[in-house]
Amino acid sequence: MHPFISSRIENLRIRMEACDTDTIMVLVEENRRYLSGFTGEDNGYDESAGALFITKEKLLLATDSRFVFQAESEAHGFDIYCYKKGLAAELPDILSRIGAESVGFEPAKLSVKDHGRMLESLEKAGSSARLLPVTDLVESLRIIKDEDEINTIRKALSITEQALKNLMPSLVPGMSEKEAAWLLEKKLREMGAEGLSFPSIVACGVNSAKPHAHPSDQLFTTHAPVLFDWGIRLKGYCSDITRTFFLEKPDERFMEIFEVVKTAKERATAAIREGVSTREIDALARDYIKEKGYGDFFGHGLGHGVGLAIHEAPRLSPMQDIPLKSGMVVTVEPGIYLPEWGGIRLENMVVVRKDGPEVLNTTTVEEFLPR
């Protein structure tokens, strides 16, 4: 077992002491990988590549025949259990093998349907084991990244940025959003991406006023904003970046809004450091945008954590007020969205450090503007 996996498990066991559980059943895909190295993918909310069972002394990975060889080669230190009738049906046997009585499960992943199946299976088997919801136990570990994790995210972001820089000469008026999105994905994969961290957003004109626009048949023009929001996965870790530009020299309106968004991003970023509130960071950008007259056109949170999942804690938002801690990795992505014109969003990735921010991006937001 790799030392960093061992350390994570020990930290989890310490947290288990504060819960009324002797066992943790880990169902969330990112949490499984974080604690075992097992990279099996669920491929759907109602599908599962397996579950980890962690007690104070035992480690078990339960999966089906599709993943047994993969589990044996990746999850070092875990006993591998192959269930043939499904996890719920064989749960009593699994818990009996490890001596589990009070089992914490992740309610964010376990559906009401599957929870009911598990309870029914335990009852039929005459098991005395109890299932108890435990929230964010593993996520509270994942929220702080170690330097190996940060370096992987840094490398993923470097590939992400360079791909669009290389693609820029190919972006021309008359190209569709769909075509540009495909060319970008092709470039990203050629440069080493394992996959996309989310479906790329490519939007031009009024479509760029939709924060989560889907690439369409809309064609690029020379006189409208073009917004790219994209990212990749590398060794499981995600990158996330947004750049907005014109294909030719931007007009005055674009540059006015661009400067407001850029300044909002810079003000918020400069204040990031250990101990500062997530709500305070959001307010620095939000209040500036409001001061400039665009407060009604910035509705989403300023940013979010990124790691094995593209969206994870912490949230930079008016609705979350927690102190930042060194080692957190967050996005800073203010935007202004005008329905009749278009939108501008600018996004960087930032590591929280004790004495200030470490911006992971190697490109500036101006680099993508035509001269």
Question: For residue 369, how far is the Cα from the chain centroid?
Answer: 28
CB atoms inside a 10 Å sphere around CB 68: 15
Q: What are the start-end ranges of the E strands in the chain?
A: 23-26, 51-55, 59-63, 79-82, 102-105, 130-133, 195-196, 201-204, 226-230, 232-234, 237-238, 241-245, 303-305, 312-316, 329-332, 335-338, 342-345, 348-353, 356-359
**What does the alpha-carbon distance between residue 327 and residue 149 come to, in Å, rounded to a whole number?**
10
Closest CA to 156 of 117, 191, 111, 106: 191
pLDDT by residue, tens only, the chain of 371 residues? 788 899 999 999 999 988 889 999 999 999 999 999 999 999 887 889 999 999 999 999 999 999 999 999 999 999 999 999 999 999 999 999 999 999 999 999 999 999 999 999 999 999 999 999 999 999 999 999 999 999 999 999 999 999 999 999 999 999 999 999 999 999 999 999 999 999 999 999 999 999 999 999 999 999 999 999 999 999 999 999 999 999 999 999 999 999 999 999 999 999 999 999 999 999 999 999 999 999 999 999 999 999 999 999 999 999 999 999 999 999 999 999 999 999 999 999 999 999 999 999 999 999 999 87
Helices 87-98 & 112-124 angle (0-180, nearest 10): 60
In eight-state DSSP terms, residue 360 is -
Q: Which residues contact 261 (CB under 8 A, 6 or more apart)?
A: 244, 289, 334, 335, 336, 344, 345, 346
Long-range contacts of 259-262 (CB under 8 A, 24+ apart): 260/288, 260/289, 260/292, 260/294, 260/336, 261/289, 261/334, 261/335, 261/336, 261/344, 261/345, 261/346, 262/346, 262/365
**Is-cis flag, bond preceding 314, omega within 30?**
yes
Number of H helices, E strands in the chain: 10, 19
Q: pTM to 2 decimals? A: 0.95
**What does the alpha-carbon distance between residue 338 and residue 347 come to, in Å, rounded to a whole number?**
18
The domains located in the chain, with CATH, are 3-142 (3.40.350.10), 147-368 (3.90.230.10)
The two structure tokens encoding residue 202: 């490519």
